[in-house]
């Protein structure tokens, strides 16, 4: 990042001026009488930008993937996801003497994992993908809310399955398939966050700082992992009889999900008081979990043991969210 020093000059009784760097003016095509906007940021620094140029720069950005013979399907998928999260507007895959069926498979897998990925151009040695996201999912706040709601609903459906007298495996199958949507929303949220952080104007508009963005990214990851835990539990329940699960484990699970719901709702509304209260409840759940392990140590089914382990991870993730909420609240109130 280039740094320039200027001395402030005074003209008249109340006007202060500084000169702007010539190199910067030339690089953005600044001309005499061009209108610029000056914005006072929260740290009292001054930001100068040309609104029209800001719009142009945000539309640029092509991520190029040059395939080598060593690239596997998974390597290509990872690179496509990398470009997606980095907020590339287009991803161009370049290749020579490379198996087209491998590329097609990688693109197919990527399209299953990513929202808005479409092929817009191709020739003998390249394929260009464009990211076109639904306008309803253009705001990171709406994505996070949808992720949180989906993750919670997956666990609620599992509890319904456990409560029913006659269990339908289709419920568990739907939970597993729903996890794919949460994963898509997770990657889209990370893309939107990347887009915001690349644009100081958007950061200011959304009142988001870099330290806050770190905590927000951690929260998004925790929500994605809690959805993964629902998938793990669904798979476990496909391999175990409901009667083999001690009622105390189901009660612990129900309480853990209720805690997750409360703390995730509090995170979205920035309610610190709930985080402090939930932290105490989580300690009580840990004690209950430890007592269950001691009581069932010698007679627990391996699948049920995995179920209990997963509940413990959900409790730990909820504690992480509570701590992230408290930290984020502190950052915003310094």
pLDDT digits (tens, 9 = 90+) for 261-308: 999 999 999 999 999 999 899 999 999 999 999 998 778 889 999 999
pLDDT of residue 56: 47
- Mark 70-107 as b/e (b = at least 16 C-beta within 10 Å): ebebeebbebbbebbbebbebbbbebeeeeeebbeebb
Q: Same structural domain for residues 43 and 63?
A: no
Q: Same structural domain for residues 90 and 54?
A: no
pLDDT of residue 331: 92
Q: Same structural domain for residues 182 and 197?
A: yes
Residue 2 within a domain: no
* DSSP state letter for 44: S
Query: What strand order describes the sheet that includes 126-131?
Result: 62-66, 90-94, 126-131, 117-123
pTM, rounded to two decimals: 0.81
User: Using an 8 Å Cβ cutoff, are 197 and 203 in contact?
Assistant: yes
Residue 74 within a domain: yes
- Total count of residues recorded for the chain: 334
Domains identified in the chain, total number: 3
pLDDT above 70 covers a percentage of the chain that reads: 95
Q: Same structural domain for residues 126 and 163?
A: no
pLDDT of residue 54: 57
Cα angle: 29, vertex 34, 38; to 5 degrees: 100
CA distances from 171 to 29, 183, 216 (A): 59, 19, 31
Residue 1 within a domain: no
Q: Same structural domain for residues 94 and 126?
A: yes
Q: Which residues pair with 66 in a beta bridge?
A: 94
Domain boundary among 58, 77, 95: 58
Residue 34 within a domain: yes
> How many C-beta neighbours within 10 Å does residue 330 have?
11
Interatomic CA distance for residues 67 and 94, integer angstroms: 6
What pLDDT, in 10s, does the model give residues 150-184?
Answer: 999 999 999 999 987 667 788 999 999 999 999 99
Q: Same structural domain for residues 201 and 299?
A: yes
Q: Same structural domain for residues 15 and 119?
A: no
Residue 20: domain span: 9-58
Residue 190 within a domain: yes
Q: Same structural domain for residues 110 and 220?
A: no
Residue 173 within a domain: yes
Here the CATH number for the domain that contains residue 86 is 3.30.110.150
pLDDT of residue 60: 54
Is pLDDT at 49 greater than 90 in this prediction? no
Q: Same structural domain for residues 30 and 80?
A: no
Is pLDDT at 64 greater than 70 in this prediction? yes
Here the CATH number for the domain that contains residue 215 is 1.20.58.220
Residue 259 within a domain: yes
Q: Same structural domain for residues 163 and 241?
A: yes
Here the CATH number for the domain that contains residue 49 is 2.10.260
pLDDT of residue 165: 65
């Amino acid at each position: 990042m280039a740094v320039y020093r200027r001395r402030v000059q005074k003209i008249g009784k109340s006007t202060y001026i500084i000169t702007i760097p010539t190199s910067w003016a030339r690089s953005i095509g600044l001309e005499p009488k061009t209108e610029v906007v000056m914005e006072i940021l929260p740290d009292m620094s001054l930001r100068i930008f040309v609104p029209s140029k800001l719009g142009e720069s945000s539309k640029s950005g092509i991520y190029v993937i040059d395939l080598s013979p060593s690239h596997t399907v998974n390597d290509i998928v990872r690179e496509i996801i990398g470009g997606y999260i980095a907020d590339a507007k287009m991803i161009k895959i370049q290749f020579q003497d490379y198996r087209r069926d491998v590329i097609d498979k990688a693109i197919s897998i990527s399209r299953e994992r990513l929202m808005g990925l479409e092929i817009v151009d191709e020739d003998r040695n390249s394929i260009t993908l464009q990211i076109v996201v639904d306008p309803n999912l253009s705001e990171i706040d709406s994505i996070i809310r949808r992720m949180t709601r989906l993750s919670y609903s997956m666990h609620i459906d599992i509890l319904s399955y456990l409560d029913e007298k006659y269990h339908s495996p289709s419920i568990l199958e739907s939970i597993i398939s729903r996890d794919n949507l949460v994963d898509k929303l997770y990657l889209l949220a990370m893309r939107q966050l990347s887009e915001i952080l690349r644009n100081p104007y958007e950061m200011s508009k959304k009142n988001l700082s870099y330290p806050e963005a770190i905590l927000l990214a951690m929260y998004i990851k925790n929500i994605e992992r809690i959805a993964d835990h629902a998938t793990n539990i669904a798979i476990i329940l496909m391999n175990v009889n409901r009667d083999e699960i001690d009622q105390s484990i189901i009660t612990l699970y129900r309480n853990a999900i209720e805690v997750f719901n409360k703390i995730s709702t509090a995170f979205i509304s920035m309610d610190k008081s709930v985080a402090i209260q939930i932290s105490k409840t989580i300690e009580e759940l840990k004690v209950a979990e430890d007592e269950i392990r001691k009581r069932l140590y010698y007679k627990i089914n391996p699948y049920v043991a995995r179920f209990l382990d997963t509940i413990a991870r959900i409790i730990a993730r909820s504690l992480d969210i509570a701590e992230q909420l408290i930290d984020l609240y502190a950052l915003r109130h310094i």
